[in-house]
Copies of this chain bind each other. A is one copy, B any other.
């Protein structure tokens, strides 16, 4: 349980750096939603914990996650949205080589539960510099700039 909604961002970072899927799961309510960067939509805390635990033991095992800007918006007394920029380095590519740096925007929807706050919904999106949208082609989706 978190003391304030914006605490979710450093708590997520800390759980990530500890490679602790259970600590990530503990930030969420039991029936939480989580949409990841490729549209995988988990709909319960256990699945969110398992998926992150697996990734943190494999392709994210050597990553460093750093928080950028965190923006918090309260909605009445019992809800909030927290947008957090996240900078991820140290990922491994499928062939074992070092992959590049990623910057994402991870947004959390927070609900007051008793004395604290938990996340009911999260969604993560990679920032693709210079792109406007995605285009579906023969090779799959490609982030694209139409302006030239």
Contact = CB atoms under 8 A, between A and B. Distances in A.
Interface of A: 33, 35-41, 55, 58-59, 71, 73, 75-79, 81, 83, 91, 93-94, 99-105, 107, 109, 111-112, 120-121, 123-128, 131-138, 140-141, 143-146
Tallying the copies of this chain within the complex gives 2
17 contacts: A33-B73, A37-B125, A38-B128, A38-B132, A38-B133, A39-B127, A39-B128, A73-B120, A75-B75, A75-B78, A75-B120, A76-B77, A76-B111, A78-B78, A81-B120, A99-B137, A123-B125
Contacts of A128: 38-39, 140-141
A81 B35 contact: no
Closest 9 CB pairs of A and B: A39-B127, A100-B136, A79-B79, A76-B78, A38-B131, A38-B128, A75-B79, A123-B123, A81-B121
A57 to B, nearest CB: 12
Contacts of A35: 83, 105, 107, 123, 125
